[in-house]
Structure 1
C-alpha cells in the first residue's frame, strides 16, 4: 500500500493542485482529525462548489477534481499549502538536517511558503540560530576554563620549580659552604699544636670567615628574591649616586678584615634614575661578587657613574669593575640566569647575580657583563647597569 504522500507525489503533472488543502480526508471518517490539526471546520461543509466525495479513496477523487478545501465560512478561506510545497519542504529539510548533523550550524532554510511549511522553515532557522548561540557560549566557556587550567598548571609548575630551587640551594650551595667550613676546622684541629703552621692557620681562619659570609649572603638574597616576587613595583626618582655610596659603605663594613680598596669615578652632578628601594641591594650584590670571587692579595673595585644617550633616551650608566678571577665568555651568557628553571650549577654567586637582574629589570633597566680588560677575562670583570634617567 502506498502512503498518501507517496500517492500524491504520483499525480499527473496536468493536475493543478497548487491550491489543494494540506490534507484531504474522507468526509465521514476524518472531520475530527481535521479539527485536531487546527482547522475550524463548519457544521455545513462548503467545498467551493465542488461536490463532496463519498468514495473510500480520496486519491482517485483528487485526480478528477483539481482542488478542494475546508472553509471556515462563506468567502473566508484558510491559507493553503500545496502538496508540492510539502514535497519540496521535506526534501529540503532532510538536506539541511544532514548539514546540521554534520556540525554545520550556519544552515538556514529559505522561507518559501506563507502557511505551515513556512512556519516550520522559520522554526528550523530559529533552532539553528539558538544552537549556534549555545555552541559559541559553550566554546567561550571551554576557552575560559582551558585558560584557567593553563594558568593553574603554570602556577603549579612555578611552585614546583621554587621548591626544587630552594632544595638545591640547601643541598648544593649551603652544602658546599658547610663542607668547606668543616674541612677548615679539621685542618685547624690538626695544626693546633704545630707552631710551624701558624701562617696556615691564619689562612684557614680567613677561609672560614669567607664561607660564613657566603652563607649569610645566600640566605639574605633568597629572602629578598622571595620578597620581590610578592611585592608590587612602583618606580620613582632615586639618587643613584647616594645609593651607590650606601652599597659601598655596607660592603666595606662587611669585609673590614680584607685588604679592600673601592675607587669611585663620578662627577659632582646629580644622577637621578628610575628605581626603588632595592637598588642598593643590586649594587651591593655586584660589589660582594667582586670581593668573594677574587684571589688577589689586594682586592680592587672601581665604580664609574656617567650619563649616556641611547635611541633618543637618557640613561644613567653604572660600571662595577673588579680585579677578580673574571668570567669566561661561555659563562657570561648565563651568569645572570640562576633561577627556578635554569641550570643550578652556578654556586652562590649565581643567586646573587640573578637577584641583581631581577631588581634591575623590574626597574625597566638592563644589566650586562664585559671583561675589565678587553679580550682578557683573567684581569677581572666589568658589570654594567643602565637605568633610565628620571627627569
Structure 2
C-alpha cells in the first residue's frame, strides 16, 4: 500500500468495506503514475458476508491518454476563445481608426479650395499620421499578446533609459493639441533591469494615460528613478 499516493485512505476503505453488502468501484493512483481500476463485491454464505472479492485492472495507458486528450481539448478551446477575443478587439479598434482617417480625408476635401484654412489641413494630416501610428501599434500589440501566450517569458538585460526614450518618442508623436513637457530625474548614468520587449509597452501605456487624462493645455510629466533596497530599481511617472 505504500506504493499508493494515499495509502492511509486505501487501508481505511478496506476496513469500511469489510462487511459492507454493496459493490464498490474506484480508481487507485500510484506514486509512480500508474492508475488501476478497482472493483469489489461481498462474498456471502447463507446470507452472511464471509469475505470480499477484489478485482484490479491496470488502466494507466487509457487514463493518461484521456488526460492528454482533455488537456489538448482545453488548449485548443482556449486558443479559439483568445483568437475570437483578439479578433473582436482588433476589428473594433481598426474600424475606429479607419473612421477617423475617412473623416479627416473628407475634411481635407472640403478645405482644399480654401487657402485660409491651410493650417487646419496641416492639423488634419497630423491626425491621419497619428491614426496610422495607432494602427501599426495595434497590430504590433496583437502580435505580442499572441507571442506571450505561445512561449515562455525570457528576460534579458535591458538599458531602461533607452526603452523610456523610445516610449517618450511615441508619446510625443501621438499627442495632439497639447504641449508636452517630460522631465526625467535619473539617479545614475546607466540603469539596467531584467526585462523583455513588454517593458516598452508598460512605459508607453503609462505615458499615454498621463497625457490622455490631463486636461491642461501643457501636459507636464515627471519621471523619477529611485533605487529601492528590496526590489532594485523603482520608477515613478
TM-score tier (shorter): 0.5 to 0.7
Superposed displacement of residue 175, structure 1: 0.2
Aligned to 1:284: 204
Partners of 1:271 and 1:204 lie apart in 2 by 39
Structure 1 position 200 matched with structure 2 position 120: yes
Aligned to 2:8: none
Q: CA RMSD in A?
A: 3.9
* Deviations 1:131-183 (CA, angstroms, capped at 9, x unpaired): 1x21xx33x56653553343233222222222212321342100011011101
Q: 2:129 aligns with which of 209, 215, 218?
A: 209
Distance 1:231 1:293, change over 3 A: farther
Partners of 2:115 and 2:192 lie apart in 1 by 56
Partners of 2:214 and 2:123 lie apart in 1 by 15
Q: 1:102 aligns with which of 23, 41, 51?
A: 23
5 Å matches for 1:1-391? 99=21, 102-103=23-24, 105=39, 128=54, 131=55, 133-134=56-57, 137-138=58-59, 144-248=64-168, 250-251=169-170, 254=173, 259-268=179-188, 271-291=191-211, 296-309=216-229, 313-320=230-237
Gaps of 5+ in 1: 1-95, 110-120, 321-391
Distance 1:191 1:243, change over 3 A: closer
Partners of 1:293 and 1:182 lie apart in 2 by 26
The TM-score, its normalising length taken from structure 2, stands at 0.64
Aligned positions, number = 201
Gaps of 5+ in 2: 1-17, 26-38, 44-49
Q: Secondary structure at the match of 2:113?
A: coil
Q: Which structure shows the bigger proportion of residues in strand conformation?
A: 2
